[in-house]
Amino acid sequence: MNVQSPVGADTWSVAGRSFTSRLIVGTGKYKDFEQNAAAVEASGAQIVTVAVRRVNVSDPKQPMLVDYIDPKKITYLPNTAGCFTAEEAIRTLRLAREAGGWDLVKLEVLGEAKTLYPDMRETLRATETLANEGFKPMVYCVDDPIAAKQLEEAGAVAIMPLGAPIGSGLGIQNLVTIRLIVEGAKVPVLVDAGVGTASDAAVAMELGCDGVLMNTAIAEAKDPVMMARAMKLAVESGRLAYLSGRMAKRKYADPSSPLAGLI
């Protein structure tokens, strides 16, 4: 990584695709499609997560997400939200691949509704199957460096540990484990879930993460479009701070003005 390079040249790659934006945003919980599209625009995101659901057969002409966010310009990352077994998640992503033609997918297999914590046994099993079927799974997981390694070995193209429970906005709870995952991974690491405000996103990037994925922090802000811009700036500033190499921490004060020549 060339530390001197301007931020515009600072790209990251997943499964052979390069992106300049390190912010991935969700498309759920918005007031309407217009607000959603405006927030995506303000965030600068090049990837959005989407869910796979039944079409409404009784009202097939209602507006669709693709009318507002163009999948030719923004990469759709289909997710498996709401799946509690490997089989459900794999079935969902097979449909997603047929609907969109994309093999880059977000796998999440949930363990329980209360915490939405991932079920890592099922997640690992699904990762292996998906990788064998040619998918490129970006995998939502616990903030556990050993589990992250196992996912990578199973074929995950990106590791996406939670910072805090989905939709909680509590910020990154365990800086140590996120850092250990980043240090150990050979694939991109993105904090997925738990970001509440801009500083949380900056913290993730300062730890060396390749990116951040969020939905609720933007969608549930009083002004989602403004928060989307705040998140864009936070991700960029956190990235720059990481690349800059922060100063060492000291236990005591160290004056910034010279001591020599004092009157």
Torsion of CA 237, 238, 244, 245, to 10 degrees: 160
Measured from the CB atom, the residue of 28 and 184 that comes closer to another protein is: 28
**For binding to another protein (CB under 8 A), which residues are involved?**
26-30, 33, 36, 49-55, 57-58, 60-61, 64-66, 71, 76, 78-79, 81, 91, 94-100, 166-167, 214-216, 219
To another protein, the closest distance from the beta carbon of 13 in angstroms equals 23
Nearer to another protein, 94 or 149 (CB): 94
CA-based end-to-end distance of the chain:
46
Q: Which C-beta is closer to another protein: that of 143 or that of 192? A: 192
Shortest gap between Cβ of 87 and another protein (angstroms)? 10
Separation of alpha carbons 239 and 7, rounded Å? 9
Instruction: Please confirm, yes or no, whether 29 is among the known catalytic residues.
Output: no
Smallest gap from Cβ 164 to another protein, in A, equals 14
Cα(189)–Cα(179) distance, integer angstroms? 10
Q: Which of 72, 106, 136, 149 is catalytic?
A: 106
* 3-class secondary-structure state, position 244: helix
Instruction: Supply the minimum distance, in Å, between the C-beta of residue 148 and another protein.
Output: 21
Rounded to whole angstroms, the Cα distance separating 107 from 86 reads 9
Report d(CA 1, CA 129) in Å as an integer: 33
Nearer to another protein, 195 or 203 (CB): 195
- Tell me the residue type at 23: L
Alpha-carbon distance of 238 to 2, in angstroms, equals: 16
- The set of catalytic residues is 106
